[in-house]
Amino acid sequence: MRTPQAKLVIITAFNDINAGRSRALRSAMSRTVSLLRFGPLLFVALCCRVYAGEEIYRSANENVNQRYTIESIAVAGVQVDEARLPSRLRQRMTALIGKRCDIAVLEDLASDLRRELHLREVSHHLLRGSQPGQVRVDFDIVRKPVDASVPKFLYHSGQGFTGEAEISSRVGQNNFSVAVVSNGDELTERFSGIAARYENSHLGSDRVRFGLGFEEYHVQWNSETATVAPEADLYSSRRNIAPEFTFSVAKPLTVSVGASFEQTRSDDPAVGLRDANAITAQVNYGHKIEGDLVQQRIDGRYDLRLGTRDLGSDYSYARHMISLRYEVKSGRQSAVDEFTAGALTGNAPMFERFVLGNSSTLRGWNRFAIDPVGADRIVHNSLTYGYQFGERTFEMFYDCGMLWNPGNSANSTRAAQPRHSLGVGYKQGVFILALAFPITDGKVTPVLMAGMNY
């Protein structure tokens, strides 16, 4: 119900429009008037869905072509069997061949294609098939010249904000991206700056990719770290150039080899520039087992970084890290177990040291209370149980882990002991809200984490 005063305001403003007193006001008011007059219609149009009986209405459900059978499906003119698509999408498309042409399903597929392949637009065309009563479906795609996104964001009540904003562009098989990063979650330091990457996804063959990364970060240290760590180890900025080749050995297995030419700069003139050049290698394994009632996924990863004086490095070290993840889903329930172990030998820079007590490990603990300078050894396990309500998932998790330095290392600042934490989370799409508690005899301060993709 519009009040007389509100009506008066609108009429007065309308007179202003007619008198042409202000172009901006005229424009704004025309939109308001249009909205008021067109209100219910606009509502119907924007909603695209009208509640009809107990079913949500979609125009696509009323398409006259639904009586035809799908003969074939192509993406950008390439048959679905030969098109380069994520396997889940390919399976969904293949399953539609020979079935009734459900336009609502095709619209959902177009939407998922656009989201997963980061495309500007995807539309589906129906063409007459080779026989009457059959249709061919072709998904037309339009790539985005430049794509901007926020791939990661986190607020952590103990360590503040972490986030990343990225601009990327794809030209043929070449992908370019530049990101602005501020990360106070992963390492003993907070690093802020830019990360740029070039990637060629088809280097002579679909099985070989080449990537070149560039990072330039300003570094800030927590007061506890600054107090404990040797001053010579606390650099103020670092720069990294990292070329890498990735080989797809088999469908679930990839192997990457490369190098990392990293340079740290200290404010102390006596320390100045230091090189931490290393040979890098990574092995990734991912396998999915789809059952009728139970779906399982196994992922494994091994990381190696070898700092060597042969590459002109001031540090000589070897860093090994292994991660294993097992996920099982059945109906509304899911369980995930993630195990991580790592070892660092030799003399390594601070950014290589292991930490626990962040948004993914020993959630609820303050990582500077565990060890402000990180450690040379790590072992951690995280167990998560989830129950799904529609698009929402409620989670409970239990983390346990230990950081330590072998022998009587000078870097050992806290007694090595296993630590535990518990927490609950709420997940919807990429958004996550979690509250975690350390299990300790002392004062328990819960940690709140909110964000996406962390």
b/e code 293-307 from CB counts within 10 Å (16+ = b): eeeeeebbbebbbbb
Question: Rounded to whole angstroms, how far apart are CA atoms 169 and 175?
Answer: 6
Question: Rounded to whole angstroms, how far apart are CA atoms 152 and 358?
Answer: 15
Which residue stretch of 53-61, 72-80, 405-413, 438-446 sits at the interface with another protein (rule: CB under 8 A)? 53-61
The answer to whether residues 150 and 164 touch, using CB atoms and an 8 Å cutoff, is: yes
State yes or no: residue 115 binds another protein (CB under 8 A). Answer: yes
Q: How far is CA 435 from the centre of its chain?
A: 20
Question: Rounded to whole angstroms, how far apart are CA atoms 321 and 442?
Answer: 32
Residue 409 CB, nearest approach to another protein (Å):
39
User: 3-state DSSP call for residue 13?
Assistant: helix
Which residue stretch of 63-71, 250-258, 260-268, 356-364 sits at the interface with another protein (rule: CB under 8 A)? 63-71
State yes or no: residue 37 binds another protein (CB under 8 A). Answer: yes
Considering only residues 57, 176, 285, 302, which one is a binding residue for another protein as defined by CB under 8 A? 57
Question: Rounded to whole angstroms, how far apart are CA atoms 367 and 446?
Answer: 14
Considering only residues 10, 181, 203, 450, which one is a binding residue for another protein as defined by CB under 8 A? 10
Site for another protein in 149-178 (CB under 8 A): 149-153, 165
Nearest CB to another protein, comparing residues 163 and 357: 163
Which residue stretch of 116-124, 269-277, 309-317, 332-340 sits at the interface with another protein (rule: CB under 8 A)? 116-124
Question: Rounded to whole angstroms, how far apart are CA atoms 334 and 425?
Answer: 14
State yes or no: residue 88 binds another protein (CB under 8 A). Answer: no
State yes or no: residue 62 binds another protein (CB under 8 A). Answer: yes
State yes or no: residue 44 binds another protein (CB under 8 A). Answer: yes
Considering only residues 21, 99, 100, 128, which one is a binding residue for another protein as defined by CB under 8 A? 128
Residue 24 CB, nearest approach to another protein (Å):
17
Question: Rounded to whole angstroms, how far apart are CA atoms 418 and 378?
Answer: 10
Which residue stretch of 124-132, 305-313, 397-405, 440-448 sits at the interface with another protein (rule: CB under 8 A)? 124-132
State yes or no: residue 147 binds another protein (CB under 8 A). Answer: yes
Which residue is it, tokens 């020979």?
A: 98
CA dist 155 → 180, 183, 192 (Å)? 17, 11, 16
State yes or no: residue 68 binds another protein (CB under 8 A). Answer: yes
Which residue stretch of 114-122, 337-345, 351-359, 405-413 sits at the interface with another protein (rule: CB under 8 A)? 114-122
Which residue stretch of 54-62, 205-213, 255-263, 371-379 sits at the interface with another protein (rule: CB under 8 A)? 54-62
Cα angle value 157/161/165 (rounded, 5°): 155
- Written in H, E and C, the secondary structure of 335-393 is EEEEEEEEEEEEECCHHHCECCCCCCCCCCCCHHHHCCCCECEEEEEEEEEEEEECCEE
Binding to another protein by CB under 8 A, coded x per residue (else -) over 337-376, reads: ----------------------------------------
Residue 59 CB, nearest approach to another protein (Å):
4
Q: How far is CA 288 from the centre of its chain?
A: 20
Residue 326 CB, nearest approach to another protein (Å):
20
Here the tokens at position 346 are 């030799």
CB count, 10 Å around CB of 152? Answer: 19
Residue 237 CB, nearest approach to another protein (Å):
27
Question: Rounded to whole angstroms, how far apart are CA atoms 90 and 82?
Answer: 10
Q: DSSP assignment, residue 100?
A: B
The answer to whether residues 57 and 44 touch, using CB atoms and an 8 Å cutoff, is: no
Residue 292 CB, nearest approach to another protein (Å):
25
Question: Rounded to whole angstroms, how far apart are CA atoms 336 and 429?
Answer: 17
* Partners of 212 in the β-ladder: 198, 243
Nearest CB to another protein, comparing residues 69 and 282: 69
Site for another protein in 376-435 (CB under 8 A): 429-430
Nearest CB to another protein, comparing residues 14 and 261: 14
State yes or no: residue 132 binds another protein (CB under 8 A). Answer: yes
| Interacting residues toward another protein by CB under 8 A | 2, 7, 10, 14, 33, 36-38, 40-42, 44-46, 48, 50-53, 57-65, 68, 103, 107, 110-112, 114-116, 118, 120, 123-128, 132-133, 135, 144, 146-153, 165, 429-430, 452-453
